[in-house]
């Protein structure tokens, strides 16, 4: 399961729409209908990112954001403001309070997912900080070099990124959608079937080491622990 995300919105239908799409993207999703519920959920569930509606029935999203930023334990918690307010002054207020991004309703669930992926990716250690090794397989991100038993393997840029993403999370299942967003990003025309095609070629190129990339039927892929 991916990062845990808290979604706070007082519209049940929209809340379910966001929850469903984030869950499909491989995230562990927690929801709240009010600001107070959201603040409590942060303490109980320790999310890695919060999607926060600005207009809430009790405590406003602005106040929730202010309280989180005032708490040293949550000062760096990524926050994406999700609101019907699109005026520049509202965006400025959100960013001044420390929001990491701002999405205006109506919105594309795909766009929201990409924005969340981008924020979480920036929070992860930068790739290329060290070699990845497993048995005879070795990947050197800095040199863009892959070897199996010391023999170089020629990979395309996308194949290399796929291998790097999987190897950096051994034992963790990654959905096709998650891999698509991490490797292809905003190339929306690309389909999930593209992942299967690239991984098939990647496994063939890796030879015996290709078996380290495991298929989790009906879910996605993972790299062996």
3-state secondary structure of 145: strand
43-74 pLDDT, tens digit each: 988 898 999 998 898 998 888 988 998 887 78
d(CA 56, CA 61): 6
Averaged over 146-167, what is the pLDDT? 90
pTM score, whole prediction: 0.58
Q: Which domains does the chain possess?
A: 4-123 (3.40.50.2300), 132-223 (1.10.10.10)
Provide the sign of the torsion angle of the four alpha carbons 44, 9, 62, 97, taken in this order: positive
The tokens for 211 are 């078996």
Which alpha helices (H) appear in the chain, and where do they start and end? 12-24, 35-45, 61-70, 88-96, 109-123, 157-167, 176-184, 193-206
Range with the poorest average pLDDT among 15-24, 59-68, 137-146, 183-192: 183-192
Q: Please state, as a whole number, how many other Cβ atoms lie within 10 Å of the Cβ of residue 207.
A: 14
pLDDT value of position 126:
47
């Amino acid at each position: 399961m991916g990062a845990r995300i808290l979604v706070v919105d007082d519209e049940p239908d929209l809340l379910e729409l966001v929850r469903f799409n984030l869950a499909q993207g491989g995230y562990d999703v927690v929801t709240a209908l009010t600001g107070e519920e959201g603040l409590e959920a942060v303490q109980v569930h320790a999310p890695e990112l919060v999607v926060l509606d600005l207009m809430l029935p009790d405590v406003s999203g602005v106040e929730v954001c202010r309280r989180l930023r005032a708490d040293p334990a949550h000062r760096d918690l990524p926050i994406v403001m999700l609101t019907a307010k699109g005026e520049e002054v509202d965006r400025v207020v959100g960013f001044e309070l420390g929001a990491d991004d701002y999405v205006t309703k109506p919105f594309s669930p795909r766009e929201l997912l990409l924005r969340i992926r981008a924020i979480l990716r920036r929070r992860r250690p930068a790739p290329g900080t060290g070699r990845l090794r497993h048995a005879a397989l070795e990947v050197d991100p800095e040199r863009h070099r892959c070897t199996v038993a010391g023999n170089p393997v020629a990979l395309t840029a996308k194949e290399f990124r796929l291998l790097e993403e999987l190897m950096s999370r051994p034992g963790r299942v990654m959905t096709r959608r998650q891999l698509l967003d991490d490797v292809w990003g905003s190339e929306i025309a690309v389909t999930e079937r593209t992942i299967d095609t690239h991984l098939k070629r990647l496994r063939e190129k890796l030879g015996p080491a290709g078996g380290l990339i495991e298929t989790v039927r009906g879910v996605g892929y993972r790299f062996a622990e």
